[in-house]
Chains A and B, each alone.
Chain A
Amino acid sequence: MQQGTEPFAIRVRDLVVGFGRHVVIDHLALDVRRGEILGLVGASGGGKSVLMRTIIGLIPKQSGEIEVLGSPVDHDRSTKAAAGRWGILFQQGALFSSLTARQNIQFPLRENLKLSDTLMDEIATAKLEMVGLNPEDGDKFPSELSGGMTKRVALARALALDPAIVFLDEPTSGLDPIAAGEFDVLIKTLQKTLGLAVFMVTHDLASLNTVCDRVSALADGKIVAIGSMRELLKSEHPWVRAYFHGKRSQMLQPKAN
């Protein structure tokens, strides 16, 4: 949790990403402020995951600039140096199936820090409890965990090194509304406690409404609208209108009503 001077956790300028001739991200600009939760919505297959994966350096960009905490990100060398700066919660959890939950959380600690085994166990248990699990759950293998527990363990692993930024790829997908609601609360609490910046790709209108400080909408490879939920609901962009005012969104009540 380093208190730097730059106001933005992530700063993306003029980003172009594509595969062959197919351009997915087209001159996109986006800022994530420190300590905010930014939600990203977009059509399925519209490049949300590509944008996230480009920011964390898994996909090479064609042109443009990405700065994370003031230092540029490159596909080639970013991943190693940045390991301590960000944590990533993949959609399916991506827990290492041969390790127990506790070992999964300890893995980044073990690789990056020199700690005694006792302290490592204590930290792992602390993280487990912070994400709302019992210390006993730490001895389970990923195949023995339920969907919600898998996401929680994956979140604990993403938070293992106390990163300044956390990327969440559809954190509530596949969870029942109660579990999803609990997970939303958890994200909000942890974000407050640890002062995280959170970049969250989601389709869950409830999470967007309750958790996110700002929401951005990705359409045609660009950010077409960004702002609070209220501002987005007023947006005139046809895709954003269709997204938030479609039949499925009727149950959605604006946050500040």
Chain B
Amino acid sequence: MATAPLLTATSSGDALELRPAGSWVASNAETLERLSSDMAPQLDRAAAVKVDMTGVHELDTLGAWLLEKLSRRATSAGHRADIVGIADNYAGLIDEVRQVNRHTPAPPPARNPILAKLGDIGRATIGSREDIAAFLQMLGALCIAILGILRRPRSLRLTSLAYQLHRVGWQAIPIVALITFLIGAIIAQQGIFHFRKFGAESYVVDMVGILVLRELGVLIVAIMVAGRSGSAYTAELGSMKMREEIDALSTMGLDPLEVLMLPRILALICALPILSFIGAMAALYGGGLVAWFYGGMGPAIFLARLHEAVSVTHFEVGIIKAPFMALVIGIVACSEGMRVKGSAESLGKQTTTSVVKSIFLVIVLDGLFAVFFASIGM
């Protein structure tokens, strides 16, 4: 069994004799490291070192390495070092350890932190150019695939499309409706609370209606879809890439873009306008309920005011944006999925990037649309 390790040193003149004893094994690592580092100053003074190992009755790589380090320290200072009394069963280990750690790999050159930071910024800038290129490439490839389908409608994978629609559309309805309902209710409550000071409570209906139909409905739903379905797309495609399923598809002469990505992106493009519509209705419903119970405005008045405040244009402005946002989410999710490399960590990283990037792009796109609609007077 393991016993406490010892290291005794007897010096006679210039010569130092080290007598390690006990268990020089990993379970005593802490003691061993202390013992051998305590010995260093004595070692540096001695002209010749002899290590007598007769007392060692257990030895493993760690112990052998520490002893080897002691003798190497002596030799590197130009002194003699001998190891004697090695038990037969440890001779191989001692020989093996003599070979290791002979050349240390050059440490990576120290980098100036400021330069390193600047370098990172530069790399990120160039990287973002590549991102744009990758996005445009994907968009182009998608257009070609869609053209192909227009020419041969039978090549569209209907089963896959229906399945994806079920997943990103139908199954998303409850959570989308719930969240937009709550957001509509919150906007109405805040509006009533603050407008009351000016006696303008009735304008809450205008605010809820326009805000929800034009901007918030579609934006909130797009952000939720990016988090819910975009991340799922990236993770699916990424793990398929990791397990070489995508390579298998291409070797069978099938285009992964046509088989995997097109149905997914088309499903998103179909589902997002529907979800936006449902979301907008749920938000108006939530706003209406709050106006009724908190603001004391009955449903009949709410509907009448809504009818005055909101025109079809508002609804159109909102819903036109939805397919474009879906396209952006789908392209980002798929292209990030294809960038996954071998490790589990890269799958996680790419999924995060996919969600962050698609939410960012959705908001940018919303801003561009706002400018566009303002300039054409919608």
Write the residues of chain A forming the contact surface with B, with a CB cutoff of 8 angstroms.
1-4, 84, 97-98, 109, 112-116, 119, 122-123, 125-127, 129-130, 134-136, 138-139, 141-143, 159, 161-162, 192-195
Segment of B95-103, B134-142, B148-156 in the binding face: B95-103
- Chain B residue nearest to A141 (CB atoms) is B343
B345 touches A (CB below 8 Å): yes
- Chain A residue nearest to B68 (CB atoms) is A126
Cα–Cα distance between A127 and B96 once the two chains are bound (Å): 10
| A114, B61: Cβ atoms closer than 8 Å | no
- Chain A residue nearest to B106 (CB atoms) is A136
Write the residues of chain B forming the contact surface with A, with a CB cutoff of 8 angstroms.
1-2, 25-27, 29-30, 33, 57-62, 65-66, 69, 89, 92-93, 96-97, 99-101, 103-105, 341-346
B27, B93, B99: the one within 8 Å of A129 (CB): B99
State the 4 A-B residue pairs at the shortest beta-carbon distance, nearest first: A143-B342, A97-B343, A162-B60, A126-B100
| A143, B341: Cβ atoms closer than 8 Å | yes
* CB contacts between A and B, total, < 8 Å: 86
Contacts A97-B342, A192-B92 given; indicate if A135 touches B105 (C-beta within 8 A).
yes
Task: Collect the chain A residues with CB atoms within 8 Å of residue B69's CB.
Answer: 122
| B62, A114: Cβ atoms closer than 8 Å | no
- Chain A residue nearest to B57 (CB atoms) is A3
Contacts A129-B99, A162-B25 given; indicate if A98 touches B58 (C-beta within 8 A).
no
| A84, B61: Cβ atoms closer than 8 Å | no
| A115, B96: Cβ atoms closer than 8 Å | no
| A126, B65: Cβ atoms closer than 8 Å | yes
Classify the interface of chain B: helix, strand, loop or mixed.
helix
| A115, B33: Cβ atoms closer than 8 Å | yes
CB distance from B64 to the nearest CB of A (A): 9
Q: List 11 A-B contacts (CB under 8 A).
A: A3-B57, A4-B1, A84-B27, A97-B343, A112-B26, A126-B61, A126-B97, A135-B105, A159-B61, A162-B60, A162-B62
A116, A125, A141, A159: the one within 8 Å of B101 (CB): A125
| A2, B29: Cβ atoms closer than 8 Å | no
Task: Collect the chain A residues with CB atoms within 8 Å of residue B345's CB.
Answer: 97-98
Cα–Cα distance between A57 and B222 once the two chains are bound (Å): 48
| B103, A135: Cβ atoms closer than 8 Å | yes
CB distance from B33 to the nearest CB of A (A): 6
CB distance from B364 to the nearest CB of A (A): 32
| B61, A130: Cβ atoms closer than 8 Å | yes
CB distance from A67 to the nearest CB of B (A): 17
Task: Collect the chain A residues with CB atoms within 8 Å of residue B343's CB.
Answer: 97-98, 141-143
Instruction: Using A126-B97, A129-B99 as known contacts, list a sample of 5 further A-B pairs with CB atoms less than 8 Å apart, ordered by residue number in A.
Output: A98-B345, A122-B101, A126-B61, A135-B105, A161-B26
B30, B61, B103: the one within 8 Å of A127 (CB): B61
Contacts A2-B1, A135-B103, A135-B104 given; indicate if A193 touches B30 (C-beta within 8 A).
no
CB distance from A133 to the nearest CB of B (A): 11
B29, B59, B346: the one within 8 Å of A115 (CB): B29
Task: Collect the chain A residues with CB atoms within 8 Å of residue B100's CB.
Answer: 125-126, 129-130
| B57, A162: Cβ atoms closer than 8 Å | no
- Chain B residue nearest to A128 (CB atoms) is B100
CB distance from B251 to the nearest CB of A (A): 20
Taking each of A84, A161, A162, which has the highest tally of chain B beta carbons within 10 Å of its own beta carbon? A162
B1, B2, B33: the one within 8 Å of A119 (CB): B33
Cα–Cα distance between A126 and B105 once the two chains are bound (Å): 13
Taking each of A1, A2, A114, which has the highest tally of chain B beta carbons within 10 Å of its own beta carbon? A1
| A136, B60: Cβ atoms closer than 8 Å | no
CB distance from A23 to the nearest CB of B (A): 32
B25, B65, B96, B104: the one within 8 Å of A1 (CB): B25
| B30, A195: Cβ atoms closer than 8 Å | no
Task: Collect the chain A residues with CB atoms within 8 Å of residue B62's CB.
Answer: 123, 162
CB distance from A64 to the nearest CB of B (A): 27
CB distance from A76 to the nearest CB of B (A): 23
- Chain B residue nearest to A134 (CB atoms) is B105
Cα–Cα distance between A84 and B2 once the two chains are bound (Å): 13
| B92, A122: Cβ atoms closer than 8 Å | no
- Chain B residue nearest to A138 (CB atoms) is B105
Task: Collect the chain B residues with CB atoms within 8 Å of residue A1's CB.
Answer: 25, 58-60
Task: Collect the chain B residues with CB atoms within 8 Å of residue A134's CB.
Answer: 105
| A116, B33: Cβ atoms closer than 8 Å | yes
Cα–Cα distance between A127 and B62 once the two chains are bound (Å): 10
CB distance from A160 to the nearest CB of B (A): 9
CB distance from A101 to the nearest CB of B (A): 12
Cα–Cα distance between A234 and B340 once the two chains are bound (Å): 52
Cα–Cα distance between A84 and B97 once the two chains are bound (Å): 20
- Chain A residue nearest to B1 (CB atoms) is A2
Task: Collect the chain B residues with CB atoms within 8 Å of residue A126's CB.
Answer: 61, 65, 97, 100-101
| B96, A113: Cβ atoms closer than 8 Å | no
Cα–Cα distance between A142 and B61 once the two chains are bound (Å): 24
